[in-house]
Amino acid sequence: MERAVRTWLTQLDVERGVSAHTLTAYTRDSRRYLDHLAARGVTAPDQVTEAHVAGFLASLRTGDQDHPPLAASSAARSLTAVRGLHKFLVLEGETTHDPAGEVTPPTPPSRLPKAISVAEVTSLLDAAGVGDGALPLRDRALLEVLYGTGARISEAVGLDVDDLDLEAGAARLLGKGGKERIVPLGSYACDAVDGWLVRGRPALGAKGRAGPALFVNQRGARLSRQSAWAVITGAAERAGLTGHVSPHTLRHSFATHLLEGGADVRVVQELLGHASVTTTQIYTMVTVQQLREVYAQSHPRAR
């Protein structure tokens, strides 16, 4: 099993090109799975049964002396790793049966995405550009791109200068699994990026380590996800926004505001880079909730 897991992880890294974050999570999940099997004397793929996999899932939910209980979503993610492993082993001929195929993941409770209003987004963007010098120009451009495209934070900091066509109003994003997509870039974002490129980036990029990166830090190197996160939280504090505001907040707000404006869910799916429209449909719950609130406040027979 140890050898099989190493081969699988290598295949994910080299052939499928999964993100470093996903690879780290799957490595951690498979390590815990191997420990679970070893404790039961299972050392080879053809020894694993459905009961072993179901037992592993149950142990994730209950926890043990070394691990706290996992939420349904985290346990489901770990089971996804295990199912991917066993499917790979069948395809590679290491075993003839898939013991994980019929094990059902726990259903996480439905949670509405956290979005902020258009007015709050405007306040956040304005707060990001407060001050003089290169950094406020960069911060405003970064947040305009995040909200204007619905990009993940990793996609935004991974942008190169050549990935943007400001005249056409478009950006090329590199998403999960190395999949590229072209998304529109509105005039506000284009203006903010242009200001950053003309008046801000040359000063920081002159330090020689920027390379092709669109967003760079004070040392002239590509901006990290952690630093971009700090930019957003700092702007949220200056804007006086209460509650948790993260990079994903802007992505959620992007999708929610599009749907509230009448956009088709499949268009939003393409813009977000979701592989399945089912992932995008959770945002429709937000708009339905808004309709219910308006109905409850306006209709004389609503209560």
pLDDT digits (tens, 9 = 90+) for 64-76: 888 899 888 889 9
The tokens for 184 are 């529109």
CATH of the domain at 35: 1.10.150
Question: For position 248, what pLDDT does the model report?
Answer: 85
Q: Which of 91, 110, 137 is the last residue of a domain?
A: 91
Catalytic residue among 52, 77, 152, 201: 152
Concerning whether 67 is annotated as a catalytic residue, the answer is no
CATH number, domain with residue 140: 1.10.443.10
For residue 204, tell me if it sits in a domain.
Answer: yes
> What is the length of the chain?
303
Segment among 96-100, 141-145, 270-274, 298-302 with least mean pLDDT: 298-302
| 274 in catalytic set | yes
Q: Mean of the per-residue pLDDT values for the chain? A: 87
Among the options 26, 33, 147, 283, which is catalytic?
283
Does a structural domain hold residue 133?
yes
Residues 178 and 132 in one domain: yes
- Give how many domains the chain has, as a whole number: 2
What is the share, in percent, of the chain residues with pLDDT greater than 90?
Answer: 53
**Do residues 226 and 150 touch, judged by C-beta distance below 8 A?**
no
* Mean pLDDT, rounded, for 117-121: 93
**pLDDT band for position 90 (cuts 50, 70, 90):** very high
Residues 172 and 237 in one domain: yes
Judged by DSSP in three states, 130 sits in coil
- pLDDT confidence of residue 143: 96
* Residue 257 annotated among the catalytic residues of the structure: no
Sheet of 180-184, strands arranged across? 164-165, 170-174, 180-184
Give the mean model confidence (pLDDT) for residues 269-276: 80
176 as an active site residue: the answer is yes
Which of the following is catalytic: 140, 251, 252, 257? Answer: 251
Please say which residue of 199, 214, 244 terminates a domain: 244
Selecting among 172, 176, 181, 238, the annotated active-site residue is 176
Residue 267 lies in a domain: no
Q: Which of 187-196, 247-256, 267-276 ranks highest by mean pLDDT?
A: 187-196
Q: Are residues 132 and 79 in the same domain?
A: no
Q: For 196, phi and psi rounded to 5 degrees? A: -65, -45
- Render pLDDT for 235-263 as a digit per residue (tens, 0 to 9): 999 999 977 888 888 988 998 888 888 88
Q: 176 and 128: one domain? A: yes
Give strand pairing partners of 184: 170
Residue 150 exposed, middle or buried by CB count within 10 Å (0-12, 13-18, 19+)? buried
Assess if residue 261 is contained within a domain. no
179: confidence class by pLDDT, cuts 50, 70, 90: confident
* Boundaries of domain holding 6: 2-91
Among 200, 224, 244, give the residue marking a domain's end: 244
- What's the pLDDT tens digit per position in 9-33? 999 888 888 888 889 999 999 999 9
248 catalytic per annotation: yes
